Amino acid sequence: MDCLLGRDPSEVGYHTWDVIENRLSLDRVCAAMCGVPEAEGAEGIPIEAFLMKIDLANRERVAKAIHDSLLYGNFYQEEYPVEYEPGLFRLVRVGGRLIYDRDGVPLRGIGWMVDVSPEKILGEGVTRQ
């Protein structure tokens, strides 16, 4: 995962998704990035609640990527804005994969999340000069 190289480990958030129970559990870093209270993130939220955090323009694309990952077992990596406070967004890069049982039923997703807003802002500033 090249996007994680050189990152301070405290900047990388991790999540798990119990597909059967439909509970997406977020560590404190992911929860903070998404504006979810830490205790609520640890307990787990439905994937639909997480999708509602994604800005409307990207929500359908991300939902399809998650769906395709469920169906085909491909590695998931997407970048999109999430609302962490009403009307305030940060750009995150998220990646992960699913674990399946012997019959091919998806059981659990595991993944990571990083805030790439600063890199995008710096990148845009450099290209505009």
Q: Note the pLDDT of residue 124.
A: 56
Q: Note the pLDDT of residue 39.
A: 98
CA dist 1 → 19, 67, 76 (Å): 23, 21, 11
Nearest residue to 61 (alpha-carbon basis) of 77, 39, 74, 84:
77
Question: Per-residue confidence of the chain (129 residues) as pLDDT tens digits?
Answer: 445 656 777 899 999 999 999 999 999 999 999 999 999 999 999 999 999 999 999 999 999 999 999 999 999 999 999 999 999 999 999 999 999 999 999 999 999 999 998 766 655 544 433
